[in-house]
Amino acid sequence: MNLFGIAYKSIRQRGLASSLTALSVALGVMLMVAVLVIYGIVDRVFSQQSIGYDLIVGPKGSGLDLVLSTVYRIRPPIENLPYKYYLKLKEHPLVEEAVPFALGDVTEQGAFPIVGTVSRYFQLPYVPGETFQIRTDGHGFRNSFDAIIGSRVAGENGWTVGSQFTLVHSGSEHVHDEKFSVVGVLRQTGTPNDKTVFVHLNGFYRVAGHDKPLKEAIESWREFNAGDVDEEEIAQVLAAADKQKRDEKQENDGHHHHVTPDLQKEVTAVLLIMKSQVAAPLFAGRLKSRYQAQAVNPISEMRSLMEGIVGNVQIMLLVLTSLIIVVSGVGIFVSIYNSMADRKREIAVMRALGAQRTTVFSIILTESVLLCLGGGVLGLLLGHGLVFAAAPVVAEKSGLLINPVAFEPLELVLFPALILLASLVGFVPGMTAYRTDVAKTLSG
């Protein structure tokens, strides 16, 4: 019988004690694997691979809240910006692309977030090097009440091209009368876009209550520009608004809606792609001094979150799980060491039959290694099983899409570390076996 066979037989003879010590190792490894995998997933989600834009412009306030609401749609919007400011941003010499976002509603079925935007959003990369694929006979929006839905929305609600739905104002039970029609379904992207419903920005403004009262809009525009507005332009807007009220027209979708003046429109945020990397910090700096708005780098905001809060939590959890594994190693040491008193005669017989001291020492070390590695393999499977089971729950509660079969390269370090731990805890029992006095033990 070879070395491993003898060690395995010895472990089986102490089945209950061996199983419990291996299980304690497995639980420690399970927790460590779960921490590594979930942190790795969260780190990738909240990293540069999750957004293809240089800056997000929104109302002044928390930059982190702006990113979480606009990009990840897991926080309510801060406030709104004037639509006319978005039009200015489109013409800014440092800006390559400007895409508006209007948030605040959810679907009546499933409570998925609604984003009012423009067709250009689907023609730009949603992450660096990746563009949207839409299952439809067209591309982007055609009519005001068109909608394009994410893959998860389609799957959970059972919607397809031609399905109709209504909106609910977020935080209330008020259901809007207007109905939107699905004209496209996004292929899965692994981003928050999968759980989002995108509607035509024009249609978003035509939903009752989405236009700001004209007088309030004028005051808001003045305040936003710190009083630096063209009063003649304001007068023209008022005149145009009166004319638009008189000229309400019938749209080709069969609904009768008034056309909302630009001054009464608002956007929640504007996604910007700058003409150069240098332009982004330059633009953000200039914005602080004039308008009631901010431009944040989404990557910087999320990196601060990951390093300042999530990273510290990960370190704490890894330290705790490491201590659990070390305690499990101590358990293996105690189990093997306590068994040495009962095994002295067995070891002496082996020595008398010709086994070398090093062979006996190696058997004890092999037992320790087998217990650690067996617990490690079980812990690895349990850890990934835990992530697999938690993935849909996390997605439902937080909106984060977790790959249930994700693997972290750092997991490969676990097994060399377990072998080192097994060697350390098996050394003293091994030396006890190595120093066994054959004559004294057999004559006793």
Which residue in the block uniquely carries the two structure tokens 């525009």?
221
pLDDT, average across residues 364-374: 86
What value does the mean pLDDT take over residues 339-365? 72
Structure tokens that stand for 300 in this block: 């910087």
Going by pLDDT thresholds of 50, 70 and 90, the confidence category of residue 251 is: very low
Exposed, middle or buried by CB within 10 Å (0-12, 13-18, 19+), for 319? exposed
Inform me whether the pLDDT recorded for 1 exceeds 70. Answer: no
Dihedral, 393, 396, 397, 402 alpha carbons, nearest 10: 60
Higher-pLDDT residue of 390 and 229 is 390
**Which DSSP string corresponds to 329-341?**
HHHHHHHHHHHHH
**Per-residue pLDDT at 97:** 94
- What is the pLDDT at residue 299? 81
Mean pLDDT to the nearest integer, 204-222: 83
Residue 252 pLDDT: 46
Which percentage of the chain shows pLDDT scores above 90?
21
Q: What are the extents of the domains in the chain? A: 3-46+303-443, 51-297
Mean pLDDT, the chain, whole residue set: 81
| 80-84, 174-178, 204-208, 434-438: the lowest-pLDDT one | 434-438
What pLDDT score was predicted for residue 366? 86
Phi then psi for 200, rounded to 5 degrees? -60, 135
Q: How confident is the model at residue 196 (pLDDT cuts 50, 70, 90)?
A: very high
pLDDT value of residue 323: 83
Residue 123 DSSP symbol: G
CB 249 within 8 Å of CB 259: yes
